[in-house]
Structure 1
Amino acid sequence: MLKDLYAKYRPQHEDFWHRRALEPEFSRTFRVNGCLVEMTSNHAGVLIVADLVAPQYSVAPPRPGAGFRLQIAVHAPPVDPGPPPEDLFPLIHYTGSGDWFNLHLGAWGTCFADLRAGFGVAILAPSLAARPVLVARHLINTLLTNFLTRNGFAMLHATGLVRVSSSMPSSSLSGVRTPNSRGFAKAKTAGRVLLLMAPHNSGKSTTALRLTLSRAFRLLTDSMVYLSETPDGLQLSGFPVGRGKLRRDSLPPFPELTPEQVRDETKFVLDLHQLDSTLVFDEAIVPDQIDLCLLKRNGQPKTFIQEATLDETWEAILLNSLHDDTPEVWAENLRLIEPLVNRARLFHLEIGTEGNGIVERILETCAEGSRSIGD
């Protein structure tokens, strides 16, 4: 009876906290690197962001666990902030402690996340919610990449390329991603992976593009390589899959590139899916062999490769990976990276100015054999 009374008078109650208006009646589910993501909102249109985000992560076998939950509440603030700028990054205020963090998106919204629980809630102004590309770029991917590194994944800030060989299954050469297969494909257990690590503006992305366009390699990612333990072995997946950011002066005349501010300069996003999907490796992989190269420019025409030490490699990893500074997360990150480093071939790759020479020298090195990840 009391419940019926409440239901009868509820419409007359003031919705002071806007709980009824913000009830998440719409939902979408998808997978990122095998992890289930449930996204809910009071606004159906903003969930289009799921279609933009999901293809940027590797197809991988489903992982056990509850996955990640994101609630997006679309609510008009007391003062209309107007349309958001194309680049929100300079306006975002990042704060965090322990397992939580908060992103304040200027006048257009805020987001709180519990990383350990894999849960985040964002409150967005309607003008930002109407721009799903901006929501994906400035908010959702930040949430998901942090969730991954708090829940069983290590991250290397590196370019990942998969060597094309005649033994690679034809299905993995198709470059096709279908809604039914995303997140349910078996990880590829074969092949050689080339990892390139370098400081900002060292030519890593340009080198990756040269190698990919040579069709000797397929691009997994040009930004973040994720490592996770699976029954099949150490699995590598990526974000963003098949995309690179390059300076205009480093590019051939590719059309329709999206400008994006990276630190203090404008770079251009090249999505190889749009150019030729067979240049992209969409799936997570358990590699047989790994070459890890510490890359830098040498200012000379020729490219040189020489062995790197474990100490040099670990220094590069510690100074150039992971967007977190808590000891617990770093300890788990290094635990997962250690078997890769110990079993990979380690090199210094000093790239020259002759583009064809870069590709030829790397292919020569890859042809010289390597140690198996299972050795």
Structure 2
Amino acid sequence: MTTESWSPSPGEEEGNYDWSGDYEEPKFCPTSDLPYGYVYIPLLYLAAFGAGLVGNSFVVWLLVGQQGPRRLVDTFVLHLAVADLLFVVTLPFWATAAVLGGRWTFGEGLCKVSSFIIAVTRCASTLLLAGMSVDRYLAVVKLLDAKPLRNQSCMLMTCGVIWTISILAGIPSLVYRKLLPMPVGPGSLCGDDHTDIFQWLSLLVLFLTFILPLAITFFCYSLISRRLWSLPHLSRGRKNSLRIIFAIVGTFTCCWLPFSLLKTFFHIAHLRALPLDCPVVLALRWGLTLTTCLAFVNSSANPVIYLLLDRSFQARVRGSCGRTQPPLASRRSSASSLSGGDSSIFQGWTWGLGRSIRTVPRISFPQNP
């Protein structure tokens, strides 16, 4: 989630304004909510809440209860699941607001706290993905050179820095979030105080904690993909591991990028740098409502990806249900194991250097997009 102004419920968006070309004071632009949005939007929020709560709790339970040494990448997976878990606990509040047409009935304190949690966890998810991408790059492309950097202490320190940055990035939500009068009718909505300072700060935070980390993620995975696809006789398992990576990163990007782009338009418009007429404001507002729903789906996506694509995760699910796990050889064939040895999203491979043969350990990966 972003630290910039946003409105999870229809009717909460304060962007109902029309900016003229000479950038005079904005005039009120009446717009309507999505038809029947008060019905299906809360249902989507509650569905994401239920699936995300169960799925991410199960991932956390599996990793915390894991016996024996834990893979380095599992540290990132665990923190991603925790971030998604924290995010989904806010969804019932926004679902209630959506039912009431955007009216916030939980007080200003919960308005600030829930918005803060959304901002922190979105930022943490993006930075954790970037951290995982750098770790995968070091494990695949710079294996020998990066060995001193790839240890549990470095991973824990990296996650600690990520959460610190995320908390700092969420502070604007605590400062600028407040209860504002509803545009029409009684009650209040949970929204931002749209000052110019906040707009510029939100754009800066959006770039530093969303655009830049995603660029690093795609850059690292492009190098990883080129490295793997350049190897002769690429196995089916390695191809599947690439699909898992792209499924995780692609899901996060597809869920959050549309929302972030629309919010960028609104920030620029509030700075009076982009004239908007009423029909465009209405289209952007409806688009923001729909892309917010799409962004919320991401909180429950990763466990589904693990369950569908990760054989080792499937084996652990069967084992937790009291069913016999598959043979060890079958489990080792998983391209993205949540229980395998350190670093394994790709199966091991060998190549010759002169007369010597080096075997690269399996590289594993789990995960938000």
Per the normalisation by structure 2, the TM-score is: 0.23
Flag the structure with higher helix content: 2
Flag the structure with higher strand content: 1
Pick 1 or 2: higher relative contact order, CA cutoff 8 A, min separation 6. Answer: 2
